Amino acid sequence: MIASLLIANRGEIACRIIRTARRLGIRTIAVYSDADAKALHVRQADEAVHIGPSPARESYLVGEKIIAAAKATGAEAIHPGYGFLSENADFAQAVIDAGLIWVGPKPDSIRAMGLKDAAKKLMDAAGVPTTPGYLGEDQDPARLQAEADAIGYPVLIKAVAGGGGKGMRRVNATAEFQEMLLSCKREAAASFGDDRVLIEKYIERPRHIEVQVFGDTHGNVVHLFERDCSLQRRHQKVIEEAPAPGMDEATREAVCAAAVKAAKAVDYVGAGTIEFIADASEGLRADRIWFMEMNTRLQVEHPVTEEITGQDLVEWQLRVASGETLPKRQDELKIDGWAMEARLYAEDPMKGFLPSTGDLAGLRFPGDARIETGFEEGDRVSPYYDPMLAKVICADDDRDRARLRLAGAIEHLAVWPVATNAAFLLRALMHPTFAHGEVTTAFLASNLDDLTAPVAPDSRTLEGAAMSLVGASLRDEVGPWNSAFGFRLNREPDREILLELNGVPYEARLPVDAEIIRLRDPGAVSLHGQTFRISLPKAGGDSGGPASDGAIISPMPGKLIAVEVRQGDTVAKGQKLLTLEAMKMEHSLAAPFDGIVAELNASEGAQVSEGALLARIENGDGA
Residues with a catalytic annotation lie at 297
What are the b/e assignments for 104-139, b being 16+ CB within 10 Å? bbbbebbbbbbbbbebbebbeeeebbbbebbbeeee
Peptide bond into 537 cis (omega under 30): no
Q: Per-residue DSSP letters for 347-373? A: EEGGGTTEE--EE-SEEE--TTSEEEE
Q: Any idea how long the chain is?
A: 623
Q: For the packed helices 107-114 and 89-97, what is the interaxial angle rounded to 10 degrees? A: 170
* Pair 1, 76: CB distance under 8 Å: no
- The Cβ-side half-sphere exposure at 138, using a 13 Å CA radius, reads 9
- DSSP, collapsed to helix, strand or coil, labels residue 157 as strand
* Pair 238, 165: CB distance under 8 Å: no
- The Cβ-side half-sphere exposure at 464, using a 13 Å CA radius, reads 16
| CA-closest candidate to residue 372, choices 25, 15, 128, 613 | 15
Strands 4-7 and 27-33: parallel
Q: Which residues contact residue 584 at a Cβ distance below 8 angstroms, ignoring those fewer than 6 apart? A: 166, 385, 386
* Pair 317, 302: CB distance under 8 Å: no
Can you point out the beta strands (E) in 234-298? Answer: 236-242, 270-279, 289-295
Strands 338-345 and 358-359: unpaired
DSSP letter assigned to residue 536: P
Q: Which secondary structure element, helix H or strand E, spans residue 63, and what is its range?
A: helix 63-73
- DSSP, collapsed to helix, strand or coil, labels residue 110 as helix
